Amino acid sequence: MADAHVEVRDLCVTVRGPDGAPLRIVDDISFDVARGQMLALIGESGSGKTTIALSLMGHGRGGAAISGDIRVGDATLDGVGARSLAAQRGHRITYVAQSAAAAFNPSRRVIDQVIEPALIHRTASPATARQRAVELFRALALPNPETIGSRYPHELSGGQLQRLMAAMALITKPDLVIFDEPTTALDVTTQVEVLQAFRRVVREQGATGVYVSHDLAVVAQMADHILVLNRGRVREQNDVRTILEAPTDDYTKTLMAAAHPVVAVAAPAARAPEPLLAIHGIFAGYGPVDKAGRPANPVLSDVSLTIGRGAAVGVIGESGSGKSTVARVVAGLLAPTAGQVTLDGEALAQTVSGRTREQLRRVQIVFQNADVALNPAHNVGDILGRVLRFYHGVSGAEAGRRVAQLLDLIRLPAGVADRRCGELSGGQKQRVNLARALAAEPDVILCDEVTSALDTVVRGAILDLLADLRRELGLAYLFISHDIATVKALCDDIVVLYKGTRVESGRCESYSTAPFHPYTDLLISSVPEMRTDWLADESFRNSAPFAGMNEQPALCRFLPRCPVAISGRCDTIAPPLQSMAAGNIILCHRTEEELAR
Protein backbone atom coordinates (compact mmCIF):
# COMPACT_ATOMS: atom_id res chain seq x y z
CA MET A 1 0.00 0.00 0.00
CA ALA A 2 1.60 3.23 -1.16
CA ASP A 3 0.23 5.43 1.65
CA ALA A 4 0.62 2.81 4.39
CA HIS A 5 1.84 4.13 7.71
CA VAL A 6 2.25 0.60 9.11
CA GLU A 7 3.54 -2.22 6.91
CA VAL A 8 3.93 -5.80 8.10
CA ARG A 9 5.26 -8.54 5.86
CA ASP A 10 5.76 -12.22 6.68
CA LEU A 11 5.78 -11.64 10.45
CA CYS A 12 6.64 -14.73 12.50
CA VAL A 13 7.12 -15.05 16.25
CA THR A 14 8.80 -18.18 17.61
CA VAL A 15 9.07 -19.43 21.20
CA ARG A 16 10.40 -22.59 22.82
CA GLY A 17 7.65 -25.22 23.00
CA PRO A 18 6.88 -27.55 25.93
CA ASP A 19 9.23 -30.16 24.45
CA GLY A 20 12.03 -27.63 23.98
CA ALA A 21 11.61 -27.45 20.21
CA PRO A 22 10.88 -24.11 18.45
CA LEU A 23 7.16 -23.32 18.30
CA ARG A 24 5.80 -20.71 15.90
CA ILE A 25 2.94 -18.87 17.68
CA VAL A 26 2.55 -16.22 14.95
CA ASP A 27 2.98 -17.43 11.42
CA ASP A 28 3.33 -15.50 8.16
CA ILE A 29 1.28 -12.39 9.01
CA SER A 30 1.06 -9.52 6.53
CA PHE A 31 -1.05 -6.35 6.57
CA ASP A 32 -1.01 -2.58 5.99
CA VAL A 33 -2.58 0.27 7.92
CA ALA A 34 -3.05 3.66 6.26
CA ARG A 35 -2.20 6.80 8.23
CA GLY A 36 -5.11 7.86 10.41
CA GLN A 37 -6.89 4.50 10.06
CA MET A 38 -7.70 1.94 12.76
CA LEU A 39 -7.01 -1.77 12.24
CA ALA A 40 -8.63 -4.28 14.59
CA LEU A 41 -6.98 -7.58 15.43
CA ILE A 42 -9.62 -10.03 16.62
CA GLY A 43 -9.67 -13.68 17.63
CA GLU A 44 -9.82 -15.98 20.62
CA SER A 45 -7.34 -16.07 23.50
CA GLY A 46 -4.08 -17.48 22.18
CA SER A 47 -4.74 -16.36 18.60
CA GLY A 48 -1.68 -14.06 18.60
CA LYS A 49 -3.45 -10.67 18.77
CA THR A 50 -1.35 -9.14 21.55
CA THR A 51 1.83 -10.81 20.31
CA ILE A 52 1.40 -9.13 16.91
CA ALA A 53 0.55 -5.78 18.52
CA LEU A 54 3.67 -5.90 20.72
CA SER A 55 5.77 -6.78 17.66
CA LEU A 56 4.85 -3.38 16.22
CA MET A 57 6.84 -1.94 19.13
CA GLY A 58 9.74 -4.29 18.45
CA HIS A 59 8.91 -6.14 21.65
CA GLY A 60 8.63 -9.88 22.15
CA ARG A 61 7.70 -11.65 25.33
CA GLY A 62 10.44 -13.50 27.21
CA GLY A 63 12.27 -15.89 24.92
CA ALA A 64 10.30 -14.91 21.80
CA ALA A 65 12.10 -14.34 18.49
CA ILE A 66 10.54 -11.95 15.95
CA SER A 67 11.25 -12.27 12.24
CA GLY A 68 9.88 -10.64 9.11
CA ASP A 69 9.58 -7.02 8.00
CA ILE A 70 7.82 -4.39 10.11
CA ARG A 71 7.76 -0.67 9.35
CA VAL A 72 5.99 2.04 11.34
CA GLY A 73 6.62 5.38 9.68
CA ASP A 74 10.39 5.57 9.23
CA ALA A 75 11.16 3.03 11.93
CA THR A 76 11.74 -0.66 11.23
CA LEU A 77 12.21 -3.83 13.24
CA ASP A 78 15.91 -4.04 12.39
CA GLY A 79 16.50 -0.29 12.27
CA VAL A 80 19.48 1.37 13.93
CA GLY A 81 19.21 3.97 16.70
CA ALA A 82 16.17 6.22 16.46
CA ARG A 83 15.00 4.32 13.36
CA SER A 84 14.34 1.14 15.34
CA LEU A 85 10.88 0.26 16.59
CA ALA A 86 12.24 -0.20 20.11
CA ALA A 87 13.44 3.42 20.17
CA GLN A 88 9.92 4.62 19.32
CA ARG A 89 8.23 3.03 22.35
CA GLY A 90 6.45 5.45 24.63
CA HIS A 91 7.04 8.30 22.18
CA ARG A 92 5.98 7.75 18.57
CA ILE A 93 4.45 4.33 19.32
CA THR A 94 2.39 4.00 22.50
CA TYR A 95 0.39 1.30 24.20
CA VAL A 96 -2.90 1.24 26.14
CA ALA A 97 -3.09 -1.97 28.18
CA GLN A 98 -6.12 -3.93 29.31
CA SER A 99 -5.61 -3.45 33.05
CA ALA A 100 -5.34 0.23 33.91
CA ALA A 101 -5.21 -0.54 37.63
CA ALA A 102 -2.01 -2.53 37.10
CA ALA A 103 -0.48 0.19 34.91
CA PHE A 104 -0.52 2.93 37.58
CA ASN A 105 1.76 3.28 40.59
CA PRO A 106 -0.59 3.49 43.62
CA SER A 107 1.86 5.71 45.53
CA ARG A 108 2.04 8.53 42.97
CA ARG A 109 -0.52 11.09 41.87
CA VAL A 110 -2.09 10.44 38.48
CA ILE A 111 -0.91 13.66 36.80
CA ASP A 112 2.75 12.86 37.52
CA GLN A 113 2.38 9.47 35.85
CA VAL A 114 0.44 10.75 32.85
CA ILE A 115 3.06 13.39 31.96
CA GLU A 116 6.05 11.12 32.62
CA PRO A 117 6.41 9.90 28.98
CA ALA A 118 6.54 13.49 27.74
CA LEU A 119 9.27 14.32 30.25
CA ILE A 120 11.28 11.15 29.59
CA HIS A 121 11.20 11.68 25.82
CA ARG A 122 11.57 15.46 26.18
CA THR A 123 8.61 16.29 24.01
CA ALA A 124 7.40 19.01 26.38
CA SER A 125 8.43 20.98 29.45
CA PRO A 126 6.76 20.06 32.76
CA ALA A 127 4.41 23.04 32.54
CA THR A 128 3.48 22.36 28.92
CA ALA A 129 3.01 18.66 29.63
CA ARG A 130 0.63 19.42 32.51
CA GLN A 131 -1.36 21.79 30.31
CA ARG A 132 -1.47 19.14 27.59
CA ALA A 133 -2.62 16.54 30.13
CA VAL A 134 -5.53 18.71 31.28
CA GLU A 135 -6.56 19.22 27.64
CA LEU A 136 -6.55 15.44 27.16
CA PHE A 137 -8.53 14.92 30.37
CA ARG A 138 -11.14 17.31 29.01
CA ALA A 139 -11.15 15.67 25.56
CA LEU A 140 -11.53 12.24 27.17
CA ALA A 141 -14.61 13.49 29.07
CA LEU A 142 -13.06 13.01 32.51
CA PRO A 143 -14.78 14.78 35.40
CA ASN A 144 -13.06 17.88 36.85
CA PRO A 145 -10.22 17.82 34.29
CA GLU A 146 -8.31 20.60 36.06
CA THR A 147 -8.07 18.71 39.35
CA ILE A 148 -8.55 14.98 38.68
CA GLY A 149 -4.81 14.57 38.11
CA SER A 150 -4.09 15.40 41.75
CA ARG A 151 -5.82 12.22 42.89
CA TYR A 152 -4.29 8.79 43.49
CA PRO A 153 -5.27 5.75 41.36
CA HIS A 154 -7.28 4.10 44.15
CA GLU A 155 -9.51 7.17 44.31
CA LEU A 156 -10.71 6.70 40.73
CA SER A 157 -13.07 4.28 38.98
CA GLY A 158 -11.98 1.69 36.43
CA GLY A 159 -13.41 3.71 33.54
CA GLN A 160 -11.62 6.86 34.70
CA LEU A 161 -8.31 5.00 35.03
CA GLN A 162 -8.75 3.55 31.55
CA ARG A 163 -9.17 7.03 30.08
CA LEU A 164 -6.23 8.34 32.11
CA MET A 165 -4.07 5.54 30.71
CA ALA A 166 -5.14 6.64 27.24
CA ALA A 167 -4.09 10.19 28.15
CA MET A 168 -0.69 8.79 29.17
CA ALA A 169 -0.40 7.10 25.77
CA LEU A 170 -1.46 10.24 23.87
CA ILE A 171 0.58 12.81 25.82
CA THR A 172 3.54 12.57 23.40
CA LYS A 173 1.28 12.97 20.33
CA PRO A 174 2.24 9.54 18.95
CA ASP A 175 1.94 8.34 15.37
CA LEU A 176 0.68 4.88 16.34
CA VAL A 177 -1.48 3.96 19.34
CA ILE A 178 -2.00 0.30 20.24
CA PHE A 179 -5.16 -0.43 22.23
CA ASP A 180 -4.98 -3.87 23.83
CA GLU A 181 -8.48 -4.88 25.05
CA PRO A 182 -8.88 -1.48 26.77
CA THR A 183 -12.59 -1.83 27.59
CA THR A 184 -12.91 -5.57 28.22
CA ALA A 185 -13.36 -5.37 31.99
CA LEU A 186 -15.51 -2.21 32.01
CA ASP A 187 -19.25 -2.17 32.59
CA VAL A 188 -21.38 -1.41 29.54
CA THR A 189 -22.27 2.20 30.36
CA THR A 190 -18.66 3.09 31.17
CA GLN A 191 -17.52 1.28 28.02
CA VAL A 192 -19.74 3.51 25.88
CA GLU A 193 -18.17 6.65 27.37
CA VAL A 194 -14.62 5.31 26.99
CA LEU A 195 -15.14 4.18 23.38
CA GLN A 196 -16.59 7.56 22.44
CA ALA A 197 -13.65 9.33 24.06
CA PHE A 198 -11.04 7.08 22.43
CA ARG A 199 -12.53 7.42 18.97
CA ARG A 200 -12.91 11.19 19.21
CA VAL A 201 -9.40 11.91 20.50
CA VAL A 202 -7.60 9.52 18.13
CA ARG A 203 -9.36 11.07 15.15
CA GLU A 204 -8.68 14.59 16.34
CA GLN A 205 -4.96 13.78 16.65
CA GLY A 206 -4.85 12.02 13.29
CA ALA A 207 -3.11 9.03 14.88
CA THR A 208 -3.00 5.56 13.37
CA GLY A 209 -4.44 2.86 15.61
CA VAL A 210 -4.29 -0.88 16.16
CA TYR A 211 -7.15 -2.16 18.32
CA VAL A 212 -6.83 -5.62 19.89
CA SER A 213 -10.16 -7.10 20.92
CA HIS A 214 -12.32 -10.22 20.95
CA ASP A 215 -15.54 -8.19 20.89
CA LEU A 216 -16.88 -7.70 17.36
CA ALA A 217 -19.51 -5.21 18.52
CA VAL A 218 -16.81 -2.98 20.04
CA VAL A 219 -14.61 -3.37 16.99
CA ALA A 220 -17.52 -2.29 14.79
CA GLN A 221 -17.45 1.10 16.53
CA MET A 222 -13.70 1.64 16.43
CA ALA A 223 -12.12 0.03 13.38
CA ASP A 224 -11.89 0.76 9.66
CA HIS A 225 -10.49 -2.67 8.84
CA ILE A 226 -10.46 -6.04 10.62
CA LEU A 227 -7.88 -8.82 10.59
CA VAL A 228 -9.23 -12.13 11.95
CA LEU A 229 -6.68 -14.41 13.64
CA ASN A 230 -6.79 -18.02 14.73
CA ARG A 231 -3.83 -19.86 16.22
CA GLY A 232 -1.37 -17.29 14.97
CA ARG A 233 -2.54 -17.22 11.36
CA VAL A 234 -4.73 -14.86 9.35
CA ARG A 235 -8.13 -16.31 8.56
CA GLU A 236 -9.67 -13.25 6.92
CA GLN A 237 -9.05 -9.52 6.54
CA ASN A 238 -11.26 -6.86 5.01
CA ASP A 239 -13.03 -3.58 5.77
CA VAL A 240 -15.18 -3.66 8.88
CA ARG A 241 -18.56 -3.59 7.14
CA THR A 242 -17.69 -6.52 4.87
CA ILE A 243 -16.47 -8.62 7.80
CA LEU A 244 -19.60 -7.90 9.82
CA GLU A 245 -22.13 -8.28 7.03
CA ALA A 246 -20.57 -10.82 4.66
CA PRO A 247 -17.78 -12.87 6.27
CA THR A 248 -16.37 -15.60 4.06
CA ASP A 249 -14.26 -17.65 6.45
CA ASP A 250 -15.91 -20.32 8.62
CA TYR A 251 -13.92 -19.27 11.68
CA THR A 252 -15.09 -15.66 11.32
CA LYS A 253 -18.65 -16.93 11.12
CA THR A 254 -18.03 -18.87 14.35
CA LEU A 255 -16.92 -15.66 16.08
CA MET A 256 -20.02 -13.89 14.79
CA ALA A 257 -22.25 -16.66 16.15
CA ALA A 258 -20.47 -16.61 19.53
CA ALA A 259 -21.18 -12.89 19.83
CA HIS A 260 -24.89 -13.75 20.24
CA PRO A 261 -25.13 -15.97 23.35
CA VAL A 262 -28.07 -18.33 23.65
CA VAL A 263 -30.36 -17.25 26.48
CA ALA A 264 -31.05 -19.57 29.41
CA VAL A 265 -28.75 -22.41 28.41
CA ALA A 266 -29.29 -24.31 31.62
CA ALA A 267 -32.27 -22.99 33.54
CA PRO A 268 -33.90 -25.92 35.29
CA ALA A 269 -37.61 -26.50 35.21
CA ALA A 270 -38.06 -26.09 38.96
CA ARG A 271 -39.60 -22.71 39.69
CA ALA A 272 -39.10 -22.68 43.45
CA PRO A 273 -36.09 -24.77 44.52
CA GLU A 274 -35.38 -25.39 48.17
CA PRO A 275 -33.68 -22.33 49.72
CA LEU A 276 -29.93 -22.82 50.21
CA LEU A 277 -28.25 -19.47 50.78
CA ALA A 278 -29.84 -16.14 51.67
CA ILE A 279 -28.74 -12.66 52.60
CA HIS A 280 -31.13 -10.57 54.66
CA GLY A 281 -31.07 -6.78 54.91
CA ILE A 282 -27.34 -6.43 54.34
CA PHE A 283 -25.67 -3.07 54.92
CA ALA A 284 -21.93 -2.71 54.25
CA GLY A 285 -19.53 0.14 53.74
CA TYR A 286 -16.95 2.16 55.60
CA GLY A 287 -16.80 4.99 58.09
CA PRO A 288 -18.70 5.42 61.38
CA VAL A 289 -21.75 3.16 61.87
CA ASP A 290 -24.98 4.47 63.38
CA LYS A 291 -27.19 2.60 65.86
CA ALA A 292 -29.11 0.93 63.02
CA GLY A 293 -25.88 -0.49 61.61
CA ARG A 294 -25.76 1.87 58.65
CA PRO A 295 -22.25 3.07 57.70
CA ALA A 296 -21.55 6.73 56.96
CA ASN A 297 -20.32 5.72 53.49
CA PRO A 298 -22.56 2.86 52.36
CA VAL A 299 -21.63 0.39 49.62
CA LEU A 300 -24.67 -1.86 50.18
CA SER A 301 -27.97 -0.63 51.60
CA ASP A 302 -30.60 -3.14 52.73
CA VAL A 303 -29.83 -5.77 50.09
CA SER A 304 -31.61 -9.13 50.28
CA LEU A 305 -31.73 -12.15 47.97
CA THR A 306 -32.17 -15.92 48.13
CA ILE A 307 -30.48 -18.67 46.13
CA GLY A 308 -32.25 -22.01 45.89
CA ARG A 309 -30.42 -25.34 45.91
CA GLY A 310 -29.09 -25.91 42.40
CA ALA A 311 -30.33 -22.47 41.26
CA ALA A 312 -28.44 -19.54 39.72
CA VAL A 313 -29.05 -15.91 40.66
CA GLY A 314 -27.41 -13.14 38.66
CA VAL A 315 -26.42 -9.76 40.09
CA ILE A 316 -25.77 -6.99 37.56
CA GLY A 317 -24.84 -3.33 37.67
CA GLU A 318 -22.10 -0.86 36.81
CA SER A 319 -18.73 -0.59 38.53
CA GLY A 320 -19.38 0.73 42.02
CA SER A 321 -22.88 -0.74 42.22
CA GLY A 322 -21.85 -3.12 45.01
CA LYS A 323 -21.92 -6.40 43.05
CA SER A 324 -18.55 -7.68 44.20
CA THR A 325 -19.23 -6.44 47.72
CA VAL A 326 -22.22 -8.79 47.86
CA ALA A 327 -19.92 -11.72 47.02
CA ARG A 328 -17.32 -10.60 49.57
CA VAL A 329 -19.94 -10.36 52.31
CA VAL A 330 -21.31 -13.82 51.49
CA ALA A 331 -17.78 -15.30 51.39
CA GLY A 332 -16.90 -13.74 54.75
CA LEU A 333 -14.19 -11.52 53.26
CA LEU A 334 -16.02 -8.36 54.38
CA ALA A 335 -18.11 -8.03 57.52
CA PRO A 336 -21.49 -6.35 56.99
CA THR A 337 -22.44 -3.57 59.38
CA ALA A 338 -25.98 -4.94 59.61
CA GLY A 339 -27.92 -7.90 58.23
CA GLN A 340 -27.24 -11.63 58.07
CA VAL A 341 -26.06 -14.38 55.72
CA THR A 342 -27.59 -17.82 56.20
CA LEU A 343 -26.72 -21.23 54.74
CA ASP A 344 -29.46 -23.85 55.00
CA GLY A 345 -31.15 -21.58 57.52
CA GLU A 346 -28.05 -21.42 59.75
CA ALA A 347 -26.54 -17.97 60.34
CA LEU A 348 -22.92 -17.68 59.12
CA ALA A 349 -20.31 -15.75 61.03
CA GLN A 350 -19.59 -12.37 59.49
CA THR A 351 -15.99 -13.19 58.59
CA VAL A 352 -13.98 -16.21 57.49
CA SER A 353 -12.20 -16.45 60.85
CA GLY A 354 -15.48 -17.24 62.61
CA ARG A 355 -16.70 -19.92 60.19
CA THR A 356 -16.11 -23.65 60.42
CA ARG A 357 -14.06 -25.46 57.81
CA GLU A 358 -17.23 -27.19 56.63
CA GLN A 359 -19.00 -23.86 56.12
CA LEU A 360 -15.98 -22.55 54.20
CA ARG A 361 -16.00 -25.67 52.02
CA ARG A 362 -19.66 -25.28 51.12
CA VAL A 363 -19.36 -21.68 49.88
CA GLN A 364 -16.53 -21.04 47.40
CA ILE A 365 -15.64 -17.93 45.40
CA VAL A 366 -14.12 -17.63 41.92
CA PHE A 367 -12.51 -14.25 41.36
CA GLN A 368 -12.50 -12.23 38.16
CA ASN A 369 -8.76 -12.11 37.53
CA ALA A 370 -7.23 -15.57 37.41
CA ASP A 371 -3.76 -14.03 36.97
CA VAL A 372 -4.01 -12.54 40.45
CA ALA A 373 -5.99 -15.36 42.06
CA LEU A 374 -3.60 -18.18 41.07
CA ASN A 375 -0.06 -18.44 42.45
CA PRO A 376 2.35 -18.16 39.48
CA ALA A 377 5.11 -19.98 41.39
CA HIS A 378 3.11 -23.22 41.64
CA ASN A 379 1.95 -25.60 38.94
CA VAL A 380 -1.72 -26.43 38.48
CA GLY A 381 -1.43 -29.76 40.29
CA ASP A 382 -0.03 -28.05 43.39
CA ILE A 383 -2.74 -25.36 43.34
CA LEU A 384 -5.56 -27.91 43.17
CA GLY A 385 -3.82 -30.36 45.50
CA ARG A 386 -3.61 -27.77 48.27
CA VAL A 387 -7.41 -27.44 48.30
CA LEU A 388 -7.82 -31.23 48.34
CA ARG A 389 -5.49 -31.51 51.35
CA PHE A 390 -7.17 -28.68 53.26
CA TYR A 391 -10.79 -29.79 52.86
CA HIS A 392 -10.55 -33.53 52.29
CA GLY A 393 -7.19 -34.62 53.71
CA VAL A 394 -6.21 -36.09 50.35
CA SER A 395 -2.55 -36.26 49.28
CA GLY A 396 -0.09 -38.37 47.30
CA ALA A 397 -1.32 -40.61 44.51
CA GLU A 398 -4.94 -40.12 45.49
CA ALA A 399 -4.53 -36.35 45.14
CA GLY A 400 -3.01 -36.84 41.69
CA ARG A 401 -6.00 -38.95 40.67
CA ARG A 402 -8.44 -36.33 41.99
CA VAL A 403 -6.55 -33.55 40.19
CA ALA A 404 -6.86 -35.49 36.93
CA GLN A 405 -10.61 -35.86 37.56
CA LEU A 406 -10.96 -32.11 38.19
CA LEU A 407 -9.09 -31.25 34.99
CA ASP A 408 -11.33 -33.64 33.06
CA LEU A 409 -14.36 -32.00 34.68
CA ILE A 410 -13.27 -28.55 33.38
CA ARG A 411 -12.36 -29.99 29.95
CA LEU A 412 -8.56 -29.66 30.23
CA PRO A 413 -6.01 -32.42 29.50
CA ALA A 414 -4.33 -34.14 32.45
CA GLY A 415 -0.92 -32.81 31.34
CA VAL A 416 -1.95 -29.31 32.43
CA ALA A 417 -1.31 -30.40 36.03
CA ASP A 418 2.45 -30.05 35.46
CA ARG A 419 2.24 -26.57 33.94
CA ARG A 420 2.44 -23.22 35.68
CA CYS A 421 -0.39 -20.76 35.13
CA GLY A 422 1.86 -18.42 33.12
CA GLU A 423 1.98 -21.11 30.44
CA LEU A 424 -1.81 -21.18 30.04
CA SER A 425 -4.21 -19.04 28.01
CA GLY A 426 -6.71 -16.74 29.70
CA GLY A 427 -9.53 -19.22 29.20
CA GLN A 428 -7.46 -22.12 30.55
CA LYS A 429 -6.48 -20.11 33.64
CA GLN A 430 -10.10 -19.26 34.33
CA ARG A 431 -10.99 -22.96 34.09
CA VAL A 432 -8.26 -23.74 36.65
CA ASN A 433 -9.63 -20.92 38.81
CA LEU A 434 -13.01 -22.68 38.66
CA ALA A 435 -11.44 -26.11 39.30
CA ARG A 436 -9.89 -24.82 42.52
CA ALA A 437 -13.38 -23.96 43.79
CA LEU A 438 -14.75 -27.31 42.59
CA ALA A 439 -12.00 -29.15 44.46
CA ALA A 440 -13.74 -28.23 47.72
CA GLU A 441 -16.96 -29.91 46.47
CA PRO A 442 -19.07 -26.87 47.39
CA ASP A 443 -22.81 -26.35 47.41
CA VAL A 444 -22.66 -22.80 46.06
CA ILE A 445 -20.05 -20.94 44.01
CA LEU A 446 -19.80 -17.16 43.96
CA CYS A 447 -18.73 -16.21 40.41
CA ASP A 448 -17.37 -12.65 40.43
CA GLU A 449 -17.12 -11.38 36.82
CA VAL A 450 -15.53 -14.70 35.81
CA THR A 451 -16.13 -14.21 32.07
CA SER A 452 -15.65 -10.44 31.67
CA ALA A 453 -12.06 -10.62 30.41
CA LEU A 454 -12.59 -13.63 28.11
CA ASP A 455 -13.15 -13.67 24.37
CA THR A 456 -16.61 -14.51 23.07
CA VAL A 457 -15.83 -18.12 22.14
CA VAL A 458 -14.08 -18.90 25.44
CA ARG A 459 -16.79 -17.03 27.37
CA GLY A 460 -19.42 -19.19 25.71
CA ALA A 461 -17.42 -22.31 26.56
CA ILE A 462 -17.11 -21.28 30.23
CA LEU A 463 -20.86 -20.56 30.41
CA ASP A 464 -21.59 -23.96 28.88
CA LEU A 465 -19.22 -25.55 31.39
CA LEU A 466 -20.92 -23.78 34.32
CA ALA A 467 -24.32 -24.93 33.05
CA ASP A 468 -23.08 -28.53 32.66
CA LEU A 469 -21.56 -28.55 36.17
CA ARG A 470 -24.81 -27.21 37.54
CA ARG A 471 -26.73 -30.09 35.99
CA GLU A 472 -24.17 -32.77 36.88
CA LEU A 473 -23.26 -31.65 40.41
CA GLY A 474 -26.34 -29.72 41.52
CA LEU A 475 -24.28 -26.57 42.11
CA ALA A 476 -25.88 -23.23 42.91
CA TYR A 477 -24.38 -19.98 41.65
CA LEU A 478 -24.34 -16.35 42.65
CA PHE A 479 -23.25 -15.00 39.28
CA ILE A 480 -21.97 -11.41 39.23
CA SER A 481 -21.58 -9.53 35.97
CA HIS A 482 -22.04 -6.19 34.24
CA ASP A 483 -23.29 -7.95 31.10
CA ILE A 484 -27.00 -8.78 31.20
CA ALA A 485 -26.75 -11.04 28.13
CA THR A 486 -24.20 -13.23 29.92
CA VAL A 487 -26.36 -13.36 33.05
CA LYS A 488 -29.46 -14.28 31.04
CA ALA A 489 -27.52 -17.14 29.45
CA LEU A 490 -27.04 -18.87 32.80
CA CYS A 491 -29.33 -17.59 35.54
CA ASP A 492 -32.90 -18.18 36.72
CA ASP A 493 -33.30 -14.85 38.54
CA ILE A 494 -31.65 -11.46 38.12
CA VAL A 495 -31.07 -8.73 40.69
CA VAL A 496 -30.11 -5.24 39.49
CA LEU A 497 -28.04 -3.09 41.86
CA TYR A 498 -27.43 0.65 41.60
CA LYS A 499 -25.08 2.24 44.13
CA GLY A 500 -25.70 -0.57 46.57
CA THR A 501 -29.50 -0.52 46.31
CA ARG A 502 -31.62 -3.23 44.68
CA VAL A 503 -33.64 -1.36 42.06
CA GLU A 504 -35.06 -4.39 40.22
CA SER A 505 -35.38 -8.14 40.62
CA GLY A 506 -37.26 -10.92 38.91
CA ARG A 507 -37.15 -14.10 36.87
CA CYS A 508 -34.77 -14.09 33.92
CA GLU A 509 -37.61 -14.11 31.39
CA SER A 510 -39.08 -10.93 32.86
CA TYR A 511 -36.05 -9.04 31.46
CA SER A 512 -36.89 -9.92 27.86
CA THR A 513 -39.37 -7.12 27.20
CA ALA A 514 -39.91 -3.63 28.63
CA PRO A 515 -40.91 -1.97 30.85
CA PHE A 516 -37.89 -2.05 33.17
CA HIS A 517 -36.53 0.22 35.83
CA PRO A 518 -34.95 3.24 34.04
CA TYR A 519 -31.50 2.09 35.18
CA THR A 520 -32.03 -1.44 33.86
CA ASP A 521 -33.18 0.13 30.60
CA LEU A 522 -29.90 2.09 30.47
CA LEU A 523 -27.84 -1.06 31.05
CA ILE A 524 -29.64 -2.97 28.31
CA SER A 525 -29.45 -0.13 25.77
CA SER A 526 -25.72 0.40 26.44
CA VAL A 527 -24.73 -3.07 25.16
CA PRO A 528 -23.00 -2.40 21.80
CA GLU A 529 -24.74 -3.66 18.71
CA MET A 530 -22.89 -5.18 15.79
CA ARG A 531 -23.36 -2.27 13.40
CA THR A 532 -20.82 0.39 12.53
CA ASP A 533 -23.05 3.38 13.29
CA TRP A 534 -24.23 2.24 16.73
CA LEU A 535 -21.92 4.45 18.78
CA ALA A 536 -22.95 7.51 16.77
CA ASP A 537 -26.63 6.75 17.32
CA GLU A 538 -27.71 8.72 20.37
CA SER A 539 -31.35 7.65 20.20
CA PHE A 540 -30.91 5.20 23.07
CA ARG A 541 -29.43 7.95 25.26
CA ASN A 542 -31.38 10.95 24.01
CA SER A 543 -33.26 11.78 27.21
CA ALA A 544 -31.77 14.37 29.53
CA PRO A 545 -31.15 13.30 33.16
CA PHE A 546 -33.12 14.84 36.00
CA ALA A 547 -32.09 18.48 36.41
CA GLY A 548 -33.47 19.00 39.90
CA MET A 549 -31.87 18.71 43.30
CA ASN A 550 -28.72 16.74 44.11
CA GLU A 551 -28.82 13.10 45.14
CA GLN A 552 -30.14 12.25 48.59
CA PRO A 553 -29.60 8.63 49.68
CA ALA A 554 -32.98 8.54 51.43
CA LEU A 555 -34.64 9.13 48.05
CA CYS A 556 -34.00 7.37 44.74
CA ARG A 557 -30.23 6.92 44.29
CA PHE A 558 -30.68 6.93 40.49
CA LEU A 559 -32.41 10.33 40.62
CA PRO A 560 -29.51 12.47 39.28
CA ARG A 561 -29.24 10.29 36.15
CA CYS A 562 -32.89 9.43 35.63
CA PRO A 563 -34.39 10.70 32.33
CA VAL A 564 -37.98 10.08 33.49
CA ALA A 565 -37.86 11.45 37.06
CA ILE A 566 -40.97 13.29 38.22
CA SER A 567 -40.31 16.70 39.77
CA GLY A 568 -42.10 17.10 43.09
CA ARG A 569 -42.37 13.35 43.58
CA CYS A 570 -39.05 11.63 42.92
CA ASP A 571 -37.13 14.44 44.64
CA THR A 572 -39.31 14.48 47.77
CA ILE A 573 -40.57 10.92 48.43
CA ALA A 574 -38.69 7.59 48.56
CA PRO A 575 -39.71 5.32 45.65
CA PRO A 576 -42.05 2.37 46.31
CA LEU A 577 -41.61 -1.25 45.21
CA GLN A 578 -43.90 -2.11 42.30
CA SER A 579 -44.70 -5.41 40.61
CA MET A 580 -44.78 -5.41 36.81
CA ALA A 581 -47.02 -7.67 34.75
CA ALA A 582 -44.00 -9.77 33.69
CA GLY A 583 -43.25 -10.54 37.34
CA ASN A 584 -40.26 -8.27 37.87
CA ILE A 585 -40.28 -5.92 40.85
CA ILE A 586 -38.89 -2.40 40.50
CA LEU A 587 -38.10 0.43 42.92
CA CYS A 588 -39.65 3.39 41.10
CA HIS A 589 -42.40 6.01 41.23
CA ARG A 590 -43.30 5.51 37.56
CA THR A 591 -46.17 3.12 36.87
CA GLU A 592 -45.89 0.31 34.34
CA GLU A 593 -48.02 2.29 31.87
CA GLU A 594 -45.79 5.37 32.22
CA LEU A 595 -42.57 3.38 31.76
CA ALA A 596 -43.98 1.63 28.68
CA ARG A 597 -44.57 4.90 26.82
Confidence of residue 554 (pLDDT cuts 50, 70, 90): low
Three-state DSSP at 13 gives strand
Q: Regarding predicted confidence, which is higher, 7 or 183? A: 7
Burial category of 540 from C-beta neighbours within 10 Å (exposed 0-12, middle 13-18, buried 19 and up): middle
Interatomic CA distance for residues 162 and 352, integer angstroms: 33
On whether the CB atoms of residues 371 and 454 are closer than 8 A, the answer is no
Residue pair 277/313 in contact by the 8 Å Cβ criterion: no
Highest mean pLDDT among 351-365, 366-380, 419-433, 471-485: 351-365
Q: Could you tell me the pLDDT band of residue 268, with boundaries at 50, 70 and 90?
A: very low
In this model, does residue 323 exceed pLDDT 60? yes
Residue 103 confidence (pLDDT) above 60? yes
Q: Do the domains at 4-258 and 275-511 have one common CATH topology?
A: yes
- Residue 94 predicted with pLDDT over 90: yes
Closest by CA position to 243, among listed 26, 42, 55, 417 = 42
CATH class for the region spanning 275-511:
alpha beta
CATH classification (class only), 4-258: alpha beta
Query: Mean per-residue pLDDT for 165-187?
Result: 88
Q: Give kind and range of the element (H or E) at residue 446.
A: strand 444-448
**Domain range list for the chain:** 4-258, 275-511
